[in-house]
A and B are shown apart, each in its own frame.
Chain A
Amino acid sequence: MSGILCAIRGGPSSHPTIATSIKLAQETGEIIYFLYVVNLDFLTHSSSSKTNHISQEIHDMGEFILLSAQEQASEAGTQAEGVIREGRVVEEIIAYCEDQSPLYVILGQPEEEGEDNLLSLERLQTFADRIKKACQAQVIFSSEKDIPQEED
């Protein structure tokens, strides 16, 4: 068992998760594995014939999101790698945990109900329990306050 799994989807909501994983990597010396999941569910209502092509385009976009996170990790003096999987986000995180058995899994924690986050607080706890069951990893929740404040 080794490494820190940090599933991200890019954008502002991933900033706390990335910051938490970097902080943890600095403390433990573990490698960060940033995970991006290509999910094409939004295509179900149109353009089904484009699935193959758009899957590649979103894969490329995911690579950019991962590179951006890796760049931040590198600037903070930590080691990070990017991983891309395709499917449903929750299922792919579990599958990755089963395959790679990371030591830590970082999950974004919503500050309040209804905030733009993948899971509600209650469902997040259930999800964390599933991860623990799958790979015995320690699940850490991140939040906005984990983002280092920029100096003026």
Chain B
Amino acid sequence: MSPDGTAPRIAWRLATVIDVIPETARTRTLVLDVPDWPGHRAGQHVDVRLTAEDGYQAERSYSIASAPEDSRLSLTVEELKDGEVSPYLSEELRSGDKLELRGPIGGYFVWDVSLGGPLLLVAGGSGIVPLMAMLRHRNAVVGTADADRHRVPARLLYSSRGWDEVIYRDELARLTEMDTALEVRHTLTREQPQGWSGFKRRIDRAMLEEVAWPPSEKPQIFVCGPTPMVEAVAQALVELGHQPAGIKTERFGPTGSTG
């Protein structure tokens, strides 16, 4: 990390796909064996590089889904319409295939339990992935059921288009069952199952006011999702009185406003 160029180069490594886990219709998790993986912090990402037979290459970045404590590195990939790399990762790649990657990358959008809380996570769609790494890490550090008082209080507000598009839905339910210091609230913006009593609109200021800790609690806030959603959430949090410096964001996809 030194400015004089003495940091070691982040090397490309040849990972092996160990397992492929379907998550939703458009997302799946790649479980990887990465030789000499140096470890990571929850929230970091990797660069993935694909090489065609004629030498043509394409690179993209993907958030790490697994906790640092997990034995395997996993990435959850959403298939983007018209994407070049994500359709390959989400359809073509299978167990036993090799995948070049390097990382971990990113030293700001990271959280570990030593940073304390309370922890407020706000996700839109596949923006859940780096936040899930944080929840998995938080769970792995204190894994016993009677240890709630040692846990950093955490709340996740998670916006999806429909119930079938909620990534990690069952795992989130399991985590909240065994962990009274964790609250998960869903909002379903397009389609709700019959009898749905949760939120059914885009995340707005009133929803954040209801779900978030007040600014006086000084929550550590991480927001990840499509650009318009992150812009709106971060702006609303600032309007509610949260310190901008305590709000860490990752945006992806089209801007939706300026083209």
| A and B held together in a complex | no
Chain A interface (Cβ < 8 Å from any Cβ of B) = none
